[in-house]
Amino acid sequence: RKEVEQDPGPFNVPEGATVAFNCTYSNSASQSFFWYRQDCRKEPKLLMSVYSSGNEDGRFTAQLNRASQYISLLIRDSKLSDSATYLCVVNLNDMRFGAGTRLTVKP
């Protein structure tokens, strides 16, 4: 079983749609959680951290469910510029990356 699992997608959504990604992790001792964004042929960049109480940054909402060992990312009012691969990252003593979920937002 992979340490961090994500649905690879692709998710194809129209502009303005709401889309949600889930990610599950296997190590219950994991301490911190992140979403990174990777544009096509570019490097990953931190999108947001995920806090136990859930957190929001503009159109993006991240949530953590420790009991079920999953984290989620919700994107509201999708923009064309949100098209990218979203990497779930789980941190214990080192960073464990999911393989990513690919999102395409279409006009």
Partner 1 sequence: DVKVTQSSRYLVKRTGEKVFLECVQDMDHENMFWYRQDPGLGLRLIYFSYDVKMKEKGDIPEGYSVSREKKERFSLILESASTNQTSMYLCASSLDRPYQAHHEQFFGPGTRLTVL
Give contact residues for partner 1 (rule: CB under 8 A).
4, 8, 31-32, 34, 42-46, 49, 87, 91-95, 97-100
Alpha carbon distance 19, 16 (integer Å): 10
Pick 20 or 95: Cβ nearer partner 1: 95
Alpha carbon distance 76, 79 (integer Å): 9
User: Using alpha carbons only, how large is the chain's radius of gyration in Å?
Assistant: 13
Pick 78 or 85: Cβ nearer partner 1: 85
Q: With beta carbons less than 8 A apart as the criterion, state whether 99 and 10 touch.
A: no
Shortest reach from residue 47's CB to partner 1, in Å: 11
Shortest reach from residue 42's CB to partner 1, in Å: 7
Pick 29 or 67: Cβ nearer partner 1: 29
Alpha carbon distance 59, 51 (integer Å): 16
